[in-house]
Amino acid sequence: MTVKAVPTHPLGPLTAAEITASTDFVRKSWPAETLFQFKVVTLKEPSKAELVPYLTAERAGTSPLPVIARRVFLAYYIRNTDKFHEAIVNLSDGKLESNIRLGPDKHANGDGEEIIAIEKIVLEDPEVLAAIAKLKLPEGSVLVTDPWIYGSDGVNEGLFRDDRRVMQCFMYMRDPANSSAVDSCHYAFPLPVSPVIDCVTLKIVRIDIMPTGLDTKVKTIDELEPWQPAPPSEYVPEVVAQQKDGKASAYREDLKPLRVVQPEGASFKVEEFSEMGRRVTWQKWDMKVGFNQREGMVLYDVHYDGLPLFYRLSLSDMAIPYADPRHPFHKKQAFDLGDVGAGLMANNLQLGCDCLGSIYYMGGVLSNAEGKATPFPNVICMHEQDAGIAWKHTNYRSERAVVVRQREFVLQTILTVSNYEYILAWVFNLSGDIAYEVRATGIVSTQPIDRELEKTAHPFGTVVHPGVLAAHHQHFFSLRVDPMILGHGNTVVYQDSLAIPRDPVLNPHGVGYTVKSTPLSTSGFLDIETSKTGRVIHITNQDVRHPVNGMPASYKVHLPSMQPILADTESFHNRRAEFADHPVYVTRYAEDELYAGGTWTNQSRGGDGVRTWASRKDTLTEGDPVVWLQFGLNHVPRAEDFPVMPCEVLRVTLRPANVFVKNPSLDVPPSSQTVNCSVSLNGVVDKSEASGTNGSSCCA
Amino acid sequence: MTVKAVPTHPLGPLTAAEITASTDFVRKSWPAETLFQFKVVTLKEPSKAELVPYLTAERAGTSPLPVIARRVFLAYYIRNTDKFHEAIVNLSDGKLESNIRLGPDKHANGDGEEIIAIEKIVLEDPEVLAAIAKLKLPEGSVLVTDPWIYGSDGVNEGLFRDDRRVMQCFMYMRDPANSSAVDSCHYAFPLPVSPVIDCVTLKIVRIDIMPTGLDTKVKTIDELEPWQPAPPSEYVPEVVAQQKDGKASAYREDLKPLRVVQPEGASFKVEEFSEMGRRVTWQKWDMKVGFNQREGMVLYDVHYDGLPLFYRLSLSDMAIPYADPRHPFHKKQAFDLGDVGAGLMANNLQLGCDCLGSIYYMGGVLSNAEGKATPFPNVICMHEQDAGIAWKHTNYRSERAVVVRQREFVLQTILTVSNYEYILAWVFNLSGDIAYEVRATGIVSTQPIDRELEKTAHPFGTVVHPGVLAAHHQHFFSLRVDPMILGHGNTVVYQDSLAIPRDPVLNPHGVGYTVKSTPLSTSGFLDIETSKTGRVIHITNQDVRHPVNGMPASYKVHLPSMQPILADTESFHNRRAEFADHPVYVTRYAEDELYAGGTWTNQSRGGDGVRTWASRKDTLTEGDPVVWLQFGLNHVPRAEDFPVMPCEVLRVTLRPANVFVKNPSLDVPPSSQTVNCSVSLNGVVDKSEASGTNGSSCCA
């Protein structure tokens, strides 16, 4: 069966019909009784060789447009086996183009159905329950488990037959005094029992007992001691209310409403460029927005005022290695995009909750494990926000001030990764800047700590609640930037600011400094030691020179400073997180190199990912560079991060440098009271406005 | 004459009556015919020994409060002389307590009247006009000059009798095609003639000619060549309109209004704690706001939920050294607070222009050069703003989400420093964080560049417009943090995250890391190399331990990474910018040590300021530490930064760490559509809300 003539676009995310058709192709290639566990069903994007001419023709209004075959990438298991396959279906030709079984060291991401199924099995397993019984939990306690990707240490896997896919299950319970509350925060009650389960047989392989002290000492199951009562820590209003702690309300009552009102509507327009894809235009920006299982939100073909800037922008992966070296925590390193998928974990965003103002919601459709198309409503929200002053100047002689406010257009998606949340947003502004903002929130991953040690400094974490340790951990994000700054064939340049030596003629007073720009000629990495050279990375087009100053058109990168991965270079944490050791990697564009940590991160051992690709030392004088920007934070938890942590906010900014003749926000109408309708709380300014002096001159 | 019984407070900024009374005291100590040029008339704040008991008693509601003498610090010249004095007037006792003439190496800040007077003299000086005549400017051209603080190189000053106070005047003209436009952007027309003027005699001392090429070559006045026509670059709407460039409007017309509405009013309260001082309470925060000539906005006695946090918070100085080592640019380094004053340069903020929403405006009163009180209306604006999501978690099993939005309370002031603007704000949020935000905007300082060299890379700057070079420069801000985290006697600790060595028992897989905290025992500086140790500075109270984890109560500091001053250690740029070489200085509290660059920065040569004080190696085990936080940016101008640059935004954040039992924003009511009244642009979510699933559960 060929899916044909759908009003589609080479970059349009897969439609429900395409998902079903693709999984049907795979099914039909196997005996009828075969059962499948689909892990990935996603658009295989066309090659640059095909897509660039298409997009150029599309923009030029050429008709008909080139024909590009519609391909789908699938990954699946034969259910209840370790037989893991990658397949490519060509929907245009109606062909299964390839279907390959992968080796035993490749393991797929987790999926929602699998995780829920494993939880059920673990919570009913007699051996697990026998271990838990040693804790003598209060009568009626309700257990909860969070299955985690197992990680890798290259040693422990050997305990399992041919590198089995397993999950490590962390166990908790609801507040025993409030066991019926489905949303009781179980992370406040971590338990030291941690079953490991085989994802093929769905049998418990082993039950790990966690170290709960300051050292590596671990009790056997038989030595487990009764749980010591501890208080809850709740965050869900109806659960908090059930705690009846005497106060009339658990909430402050003096925060007055603040609303964002756009009486003439929003300034952006959204069109369907395909059934599931959306083209957005806002203030000279023009981009296509897609959504897929692995990366979630993806931006394509980003232009400003008709100028090509970025071919593709996406978050390519994350790695979150934990500090605790003790078994089983030593394997704890999440790759949330590779291990599960940013699309799969995307929240259904709600009006009045996740965004403020006038919001457009975009949905997606992904495959479930059965290969059926499943709607993912409201996974991306779009809105405008005020962002303070964009620029201002006052001529002090005339007192004439001109103020222009900054406006931002935000594309936001939010992931729930088990205990944790990531709020991810692309932010565009009126001055030609693009920012990628990450807000890390949710609940820190917790583990039990012996009550008598609570007040002793812990080497690997912070006690955030009685009996609860939150281990230190690093967060690494890798942003994949595939640029086309005023055209393809860009050059990455690093710019260092360097003192010039004293010189009796040129620098007799020792104050001079200069800026040295160095193009990167082969693929590799760059480090940024701001305190040394103030290094700034520029993505440039050496062929397009600024009409006034002759400088190459460029977008420069502002990265928050990052401490590289602390796990040593021989460790599997480091080997697997192929992007966490340097803030910048540059590779030469190659098809299918989309994910900084490699295609299959689950139980990976390194050797696939951006470090490997960059080490090819490809010449960058031909082809296109792909720039991988790493940033992150070292999270040393605070008591204030529990039960739900206030956002840690990180922003990467891409700013034009010598792309535009002058300030591109110079044509934004100056700030005006007629438009802004602000309110003076103490009347002072209304007077000055009435007098027609500064007030009216500023708000012309 | 004693000013008595005014309803005042020891921290209340000087009132108009107090200013007049103080300058009268000084006047009366001199012969009647003496003329004065007052440079500073400001509150001399009480010593900590006096003020701490007062504030404690005030907070306890004790009556009567201790009596503290009201003192005023004045600095003045005998007009038309170099006789520079510092005086202290005790208004309570009616005494001139001290009156000292300073040495010839101390020079006062510039003042508004002086600068305007100098402009007039320069623009009428026959010698200057003769030099300008060599440029053969178009008929009717209107000259403009920006007098600059002279700076220092320790050599050039010797040319002047006993270290004279001089100013270097940069010259420009209005667009010659539009000479009557008062607000034509003259920075687009820099001229190579730069007179130096004596601030005492008000006579031209010398006329410098600027290098306009790539090297140090400078023409003599006689060699000056005719100005080559160049286009204007305007930003003021009515001037832009005069350019009649054919377009119907110079402004984009598709940016829709966006308003912030608080139908129940703002959540903050403002009271007068003195005639000019304001106490602000907002969401458990409680602080006093003052305003003075040097620092502008100052915060005192900052508490959260009754807990003492900060005794005094202020921007202490800035330094902006330029990269160009060629005469006369080699002396170009602005200390905007010390050289002029953040209060003196504060904008009169306008409703609907500088802030959005419901705004409270606070005014100030400062002395003019005659010693008369002058109102400075609307120098500080206060408002609330939405700041995205504060925290969120979804229980993936029940799909129950709780979202809390972040709200910020902003205290903003804006300085115009000749060509440049700084938007400075203290920002408080619902999670116990305090941020200091700097937005650098305005017009880059420009100098002429030979037209034929425009497209050649310049070693010290960027050509931003035909004939216009903007030199590279560094910005350094020094924030003075005088803490009282849960009481006085705090300890500064730096926390490094360090890999632990491989160890067969503890760290067999090489993944472990730990956090090492080191208290600072003597005054000094700290560097932060994030890429090495991820260093974080904590201001702690070792005597107040967290009830759960026993950690000391702390506020940790998030500083944007900074490249220290590039001018070498022997240079006067470096010697004078006593704070620009390290991101953190810690001194032991001493009275009158308020300004990081020393009291008198104009033509200073170092030896006064935080580097000098820190080098005392005072023990920090007694007294209070004062923490000086430096941050900044290296501005390599872009064409996009002209004519007015889009803001470069920097934020320093102070975050509680183990001060609160749990997330202090846990009691903020969850985000709700009833309150937020957001609008769905495509109707998708209204449906899901109506169905009472996620929508209503999230927006409970």
Give the residue on A whose Cα is nearest the Cα of B550: A455
Q: Compute the Cα dihedral for A504, A505, A506, A507 and give only its sign.
A: positive
Which residues of A are less than 8 Å from B642 in CB distance?
Answer: 662-663
The answer to whether B418 contacts chain A (CB < 8 Å) is yes
- At B350-399, the pLDDT tens digits run 998 898 999 999 999 999 999 999 999 999 999 999 999 999 999 999 99
State the pLDDT at residue A245: 62
pLDDT at B686 over 60: no
Give the residue on A whose Cα is nearest the Cα of B636: A515
Class in CATH terms, A269-657: mainly beta
Q: Which two tokens stand for residue A209?
A: 């007992």
What gap in Å lies between CA A351 and CA B696, rounded to an integer? 10
Which residues of B are less than 8 Å from A691 in CB distance?
Answer: none
Of B172, B300, B304, B420, the active-site residue reads B420
Residue among B142, B432, B480 nearest B298 (CA) = B480
Question: Smallest CA–CA separation between B89 and chain A, in Å?
Answer: 32
Contact criterion met (CB < 8 Å) for A640 and B657: yes
What gap in Å lies between CA B469 and CA B471, rounded to an integer? 6
The answer to whether A110 contacts chain B (CB < 8 Å) is no
Beta bridge partner(s), residue A634: A474
State the pLDDT at residue B51: 98
Contact criterion met (CB < 8 Å) for A673 and B431: no
CB pairs under 8 A between A and B: 656
State the pLDDT at residue B158: 78
Residue type, B231: P
Which residue of B640, B641, B650 is the best one to mutate when testing the A interface, meaning the one whose CB has the most A CBs within 10 A?
B640
Catalytic annotation present for B420:
yes
State the pLDDT at residue A692: 33
Q: Taking a contact as any Cβ pair under 8 Å apart, which residues of chain A between 30 and 69 contact chain B? A: none
pLDDT at B285 over 50: yes
What gap in Å lies between CA B544 and CA A631, rounded to an integer? 34
The answer to whether B114 contacts chain A (CB < 8 Å) is no
The answer to whether B159 contacts chain A (CB < 8 Å) is no
Residue among B634, B631, B605 nearest B315 (CA) = B631
Candidate from B330, B645, B659 with C-beta closest to A391: B645
Question: Which bin fits A23, alpha (ψ -120 to 50), beta or left (φ > 0)?
Answer: alpha
Contact criterion met (CB < 8 Å) for B354 and A645: no
Q: Which two tokens stand for residue B289?
A: 């706001």
Contact criterion met (CB < 8 Å) for B572 and A509: yes
Contact criterion met (CB < 8 Å) for B668 and A562: no
Q: How far, in Å, are A102, A259, A428 from residue A90 at the CA level?
A: 20, 49, 35
Beta bridge partner(s), residue B653: B435, B558
Residue among B94, B91, B53, B55 nearest B73 (CA) = B91
Which residues of A are less than 8 Å from B499 in CB distance?
Answer: 566-568
The answer to whether A295 contacts chain B (CB < 8 Å) is no
What gap in Å lies between CA A205 and CA A593, rounded to an integer? 35
Contact criterion met (CB < 8 Å) for A183 and B395: yes
Non-local (6+) Cβ contacts of A96 within 8 A are A25, A26, A29, A87, A88, A89, A90
CA dihedral A522, A523, A527, A532 (to 10 degrees): 10
Q: Taking a contact as any Cβ pair under 8 Å apart, which residues of chain A between 389 and 408 contact chain B? A: 389-403, 405-407
CB-side exposure of B500: number of CA atoms within 13 Å?
21
Contact criterion met (CB < 8 Å) for A283 and B255: yes
What gap in Å lies between CA B539 and CA B557, rounded to an integer? 8
State the pLDDT at residue B684: 58
State the pLDDT at residue A159: 79
Q: Compute the Cα dihedral for B634, B639, B640, B646 and give only its sign.
A: positive
Structural contact between residues A315 and A478, judged by C-beta atoms closer than 8 angstroms: yes
The answer to whether B247 contacts chain A (CB < 8 Å) is no
Contact criterion met (CB < 8 Å) for A549 and B348: no
Higher per-residue confidence, A161 vs B303: B303
Structural contact between residues A117 and A110, judged by C-beta atoms closer than 8 angstroms: no
Range(s) for CATH 3.10.450.40 in chain B? 16-101, 112-242
Secondary structure class of A570 (helix, strand, coil): coil
Other CB atoms closer than 10 Å to residue B57's CB: what's the count?
14
Q: Taking a contact as any Cβ pair under 8 Å apart, which residues of chain B between 646 and 665 contact chain A? A: 646-647, 649, 655-665
Secondary structure class of B12 (helix, strand, coil): coil
- At B405-459, the pLDDT tens digits run 999 999 999 999 999 999 999 999 999 999 999 999 999 999 999 999 999 999 9
Residue type, A682: N
Q: Taking a contact as any Cβ pair under 8 Å apart, which residues of chain B between 471 and 500 contact chain A? A: 472, 495, 497-500
CB-side exposure of A651: number of CA atoms within 13 Å?
14
pLDDT at B695 over 90: no
What gap in Å lies between CA B250 and CA A667, rounded to an integer? 6
Peptide bond into B643 cis (omega under 30): yes
Do strands A358-367 and B679-680 pair parallel, antiparallel, or not at all (unpaired)?
Answer: parallel
**Residues above pLDDT 90, as percent of chain B:** 92
What gap in Å lies between CA B440 and CA B420, rounded to an integer? 8
Class in CATH terms, A112-242: alpha beta
Peptide bond into A519 cis (omega under 30): no
Which CATH superfamily groups domain B269-322+333-444+472-486+560-652? Answer: Copper amine oxidase, catalytic domain (2.70.98.20)
Q: Compute the Cα dihedral for B133, B139, B140, B142 and give only its sign.
A: negative
Q: Which two tokens stand for residue A606?
A: 């390194």
CB-side exposure of B526: number of CA atoms within 13 Å?
28
Structural contact between residues A422 and A437, judged by C-beta atoms closer than 8 angstroms: no
Query: What's the count of helices (H) and strands (E) in chain B, helices before strands?
Result: 12, 34
Mean pLDDT per block of 10 residues along chain A (700 residues) reads: 61 97 97 98 97 96 94 97 97 96 94 95 98 97 97 86 90 96 97 97 96 97 96 95 72 96 97 96 98 98 98 98 98 97 96 91 97 98 97 96 97 97 98 98 98 96 98 98 98 98 97 98 96 96 98 97 97 98 98 97 96 98 97 97 98 98 97 93 56 36
What gap in Å lies between CA B440 and CA B646, rounded to an integer? 8
Q: Which two tokens stand for residue B351?
A: 């409703």
What count of residues does chain B have? Answer: 700
- At B18-51, the pLDDT tens digits run 999 999 999 999 999 999 999 999 999 999 999 9
Peptide bond into B656 cis (omega under 30): no
Do strands B645-657 and B625-635 pair parallel, antiparallel, or not at all (unpaired)?
Answer: unpaired
What gap in Å lies between CA B24 and CA B483, rounded to an integer? 36
CATH number of B16-101: 3.10.450.40
Residue among A651, A699, A656, A654 nearest A678 (CA) = A699
Residue by residue, DSSP assigns A355-423 as: --SEEEEEEEEEE-TTS-EEEEEEEEEEEEEEEEEEEEEEETTTTEEEEEEEEEEEEEEEEEETTEEEE
Other CB atoms closer than 10 Å to residue B179's CB: what's the count?
16
Secondary structure class of B115 (helix, strand, coil): helix
Q: Which two tokens stand for residue B186?
A: 């003259």
Candidate from A397, A400, A634 with C-beta closest to B236: A400
Helix (H) or strand (E) holding A55: helix A48-60
Contact criterion met (CB < 8 Å) for A570 and B510: yes
Secondary structure class of A595 (helix, strand, coil): coil
Secondary structure class of B576 (helix, strand, coil): helix
Range(s) for CATH 2.70.98.20 in chain A? 269-657
Q: Which active-site residues of A does the annotation give?
A: 336, 420
Secondary structure class of B176 (helix, strand, coil): helix
Candidate from A545, A562, A574 with C-beta closest to B531: A562
What count of residues does chain A have? Answer: 700
Query: Nearest-5° angle of CA A383, CA A652, CA A423?
Result: 50
Non-local (6+) Cβ contacts of B347 within 8 A are A394, A401, B354, B378, B379, B413, B414, B415, B416
- At B241-255, the pLDDT tens digits run 877 666 668 899 999
State the pLDDT at residue B157: 81
Question: Smallest CA–CA separation between A97 and chain B, in Å?
Answer: 36
The terminus-to-terminus CA distance of chain B in angstroms comes to 64
User: Phi/psi of residue A695, each to 5°?
Assistant: -55, -55
Give the residue on B whose Cα is nearest the Cα of A409: B255
What gap in Å lies between CA A579 and CA A556, rounded to an integer? 20
Structural contact between residues A370 and A189, judged by C-beta atoms closer than 8 angstroms: no
- At B178-232, the pLDDT tens digits run 999 999 999 999 999 999 999 999 999 999 999 999 999 999 999 999 999 999 9
State the pLDDT at residue A242: 78
